[in-house]
Structure 1
Amino acid sequence: MASGVDVGKLNRANLRRWLKDGVTRDFRDTRYPSVRLRATTDRQRASVFLVVNERNRTKWDKQGTWPDMCIDTFVEQLPVMLAQRSAGGDMVTGAIEMVSGVLLWYVQHVMGNTTLSDSWRRNVQSAVTRHLLPRLGHLALSSLSFIEIDRLLVKPLLDEGYKPSYITELVNKLKSAFSAASDMRVIEQNPLAGYRSRMSLKVAANDTRLFESELSELFSRLSAAPMRIAMLFVLMMMFGSRINETRQARWEHFAGGMWVIPASHTKTKQEHRIPLTHAAIALIEHYRRWQLKNVGKRAYLFPGTNGPVSIRTAQKWSEDIRFKHFTSHDLRKLFRTIIADMGVDTVIGERLVNHSLPLLLRTYMLSDLNKGMRRAIERYHEYLIEHGFNQVAPEIIPRSSSDRGNAETKMASGWL
């Protein structure tokens, strides 16, 4: 039997070469010192071991056999596996002593909370698995400090080219984990109380606000965008809906003069019913005909590979309509600002954007609320048309019933 260790990158090509060469018995990757592969006698397979030191003894735990197991998936889950072993040891003593323990507890805490959106829970799990555990999980709680976060998390991420906004998001999730652990008495005190990412990130904040004076430029960008991209943000602009709600819209949700957003799609977990104006109905029906002709019959207004278009793709689309730095959420803010400037009642305005206002809403009869929402939407759509919205969607001011274009038709040309 061969002896020795081959060192290289842990991927399928290198593993096949190592087994075929038949020179060394073991294989390891310096990036993953706790992982060791050992070839079988016939060199057709390799046992995958997790090599850890527990109670001052080196322990080899077999995890599976390659190529039966996916080595890429194993490596991706490695930080979580190591942290779970560490956290498990901590739990025996009745207290969490490592950062990994707090992070793993927080993931379990979040994933079990069904009042949070699925996308947000997945974002937390991804942030912890990809960045926070590998970079900070090995620290003892007594060693965690502002300086260590700067040294092990913020500066390395900056050096690797990550945007300050993304790093700030990761820091905020880290802070949320420790804040929740402290509130739930999982840890005695919060070592990150008072920490702010701006201590390390000296980056000027971008003013992402959209102003009414910029409507013309926004309409111009929307009219030049491909049909489905523009339509997503046109709906958001017309109704103040969230991007996650809008991307999941199904044709069956538009009926009886209403757009009904299911509770499972909303941030408040409450069904949201938005009245449709004549202009909106004309726009939606025209888009339906365009989709049937150029894409085919679909259940979703914005279909993806399996179901609706992904949130990441939808967010990427928002970059296609930018004429300055703003986010998709800024369209929603612009909607709220305009209807407020028009004098729409606060309760009506908050209900249109589906904010939870149970105490205020008790003062309104449901029928009065629905009438107020319809009047506000009609006035708002008239306002958009007066300010040039027909250059984006001429169909709302009938000109022609012809359908022209293809799957990449630009918004305005497709409506003519």
Structure 2
Amino acid sequence: MRARKALLIEKTFVRTFESCAEAFLEDKEKEWKNPKHRQQWRNTLQSYVYPFIGKLGVDEIELPHVLACLEPIWHSKTETAVRVRGRIETVLDWAQVRKYRKKENVARWKGHLDKVLATPSKIQKVEHHKSIPYGEIADFVSKLKLRQGMAAKALTLLILTCTRSGEVRGAEWSEVDLDKGIWTIPAERMKAGKEHRIALSSAALELLRALPRVEGSNLLFPGTKGQPLSDMTLLAVMRRMDVAAVPHGFRSTFRDWVGDCTSYPSDLAEAALAHTLESKVEAAYRRSDALERRRSMMEDWAKFCAKQ
């Protein structure tokens, strides 16, 4: 009797796309170490998917339903749309494995959506971060050193270490080993969700050793009330210096310098920038982060920035 009742409940209960997505997230979130990644999943589903198909039975979803989510943003927000498509596909796959859906996955790209939607690479606008040419970097750094305040010092470290703004603004003393000259950024603070070690140059170590330790804060560059600097703080420094570039652009400046002015291999520069290798085979074979090989490169970069 109990088994028959359970079967009846199962037949009458329809799993919606939203309930499947939330169950999938509950299953998988624990293995996603990057909290930003977890939040991005939820934000994209809530903004671009649930309003269209969230309340639909997961087994009722057809191609027109998926297109209703994607077509409004496919050309205007291509990068986001590509992620949304992939996440719909993943949820539908999960539903199929759980036996909540018997139909084909109508969100798959190859051999399906690629027949009705434009190829993302053909329509996506690539917006490069404005950067300073490497021939002008030494002059900029010399002027930057004359400026006071935590933001100017944070921007200097960003340039010397080729890091991203958020990585510098959130940097903590517990991540830095001044004796070994290594800054280790934990995986949860990295874009790719993987720990990144930085070989600190003599100039970077000198800057760090001169920083004041603010009581009650573990941050290298605390703002007001010991909180991290805002995401606009470093950009504001550059604006006050009347420079038409952005902090992220210094990574491009460094990459151009390596390619044009040095004999360091490109993979060493990519490792310094913590770029994820596109080739999974190459990534599998490259176990080391080449920290010590990178140390001389970062030292040369610091000297170049100081006109030495």
Shorter-chain TM-score tier: 0.5 to 0.7
Q: Over aligned residue pairs, what C-alpha RMSD do you find?
A: 4.3
Match of 1:273 among 197, 207, 211: 197
2:144 and 2:53 map into 1 onto residues whose CA distance is 43
Match of 1:235 among 149, 152, 157: 157
SS at match of 1:374: helix
Deviates further, 133-142 or 223-232: 223-232
Match of 1:123 among 28, 40, 54: 40
> Within the alignment, does 1:177 sit opposite 2:84 as a pair?
no
Q: Which deviations, in whole Å up to 9, do the C-alpha atoms of 1:201-222 show, x marking residues without a partner?
A: x885534353435647965995
State the percentage of identical aligned residues.
Answer: 16
2:22 and 2:88 map into 1 onto residues whose CA distance is 11
The structure that is helix-richer by fraction is: 2
Match of 1:144 among 62, 65, 79: 65
Larger of the two Rg values belongs to structure: 1
Contact 2:217 2:226 in 1 (8 A): no
Q: Which deviations, in whole Å up to 9, do the C-alpha atoms of 1:353-375 show, x marking residues without a partner?
A: 3456452456xxx9xx4542221
- Residue 380 of structure 1: how far off its partner (Å): 0.8
Report the counterpart of residue 384 of structure 1 in structure 2: 305
> Within the alignment, does 1:111 sit opposite 2:29 as a pair?
yes
Query: Counterparts in 2 of 1:263-302, with a 5 A limit?
Result: 263-264=186-187, 265-267=189-191, 271-286=195-210, 288-289=211-212, 292=214, 296=215, 298-302=217-221
Which ranges in structure 2 are unaligned for 5 or more consecutive residues?
A: 1-8, 277-282
SS at match of 1:386: coil
1:373 and 1:149 map into 2 onto residues whose CA distance is 42
Change beyond 3 A, Cα 1:347–1:127: closer
If asked which structure has higher relative contact order (CA below 8 Å, sep 6+), I would say 2
Equivalent AA in structure 1 for residue 157 of structure 2:
L
Contact 2:167 2:190 in 1 (8 A): yes
SS at match of 1:274: strand
Q: State TM-score, norm by structure 2.
A: 0.66
2:45 and 2:14 map into 1 onto residues whose CA distance is 17
> Within the alignment, does 1:352 sit opposite 2:278 as a pair?
no
SS at match of 2:168: helix
Q: State TM-score, norm by structure 1.
A: 0.51
Deviates further, 344-353 or 92-101: 92-101
2:125 and 2:274 map into 1 onto residues whose CA distance is 32
- Residue 118 of structure 1: how far off its partner (Å): 1.2
1:376 and 1:345 map into 2 onto residues whose CA distance is 10
Query: Counterparts in 2 of 1:28-177, with a 5 A limit?
Result: 92-93=10-11, 98-101=16-19, 103-108=21-26, 110-114=28-32, 116-139=33-56, 140-142=60-62, 143-147=64-68, 149-150=70-71, 154=73, 164=76, 167-168=77-78, 170-177=80-87
Q: Which deviations, in whole Å up to 9, do the C-alpha atoms of 1:32-73 show, x marking residues without a partner?
A: xxxxxxxxxxxxxxxxxxxxxxxxxxxxxxxxxxxxxxxxxx
SS at match of 2:303: helix
Change beyond 3 A, Cα 1:384–1:96: farther
Match of 2:179 among 253, 256, 260: 256
The structure that is strand-richer by fraction is: 1
Which ranges in structure 1 are unaligned for 5 or more consecutive residues?
A: 1-90, 159-163, 388-416
SS at match of 2:228: coil
Report the counterpart of residue 52 of structure 1 in structure 2: none
Contact 1:98 1:141 in 2 (8 A): no
Report the counterpart of residue 189 of structure 1 in structure 2: 105
Report the counterpart of residue 280 of structure 2 in structure 1: none
Contact 1:100 1:138 in 2 (8 A): yes
> Within the alignment, does 1:309 sit opposite 2:228 as a pair?
yes
Report the counterpart of residue 343 of structure 1 in structure 2: 263
> Within the alignment, does 1:334 sit opposite 2:256 as a pair?
no
Change beyond 3 A, Cα 1:260–1:100: same
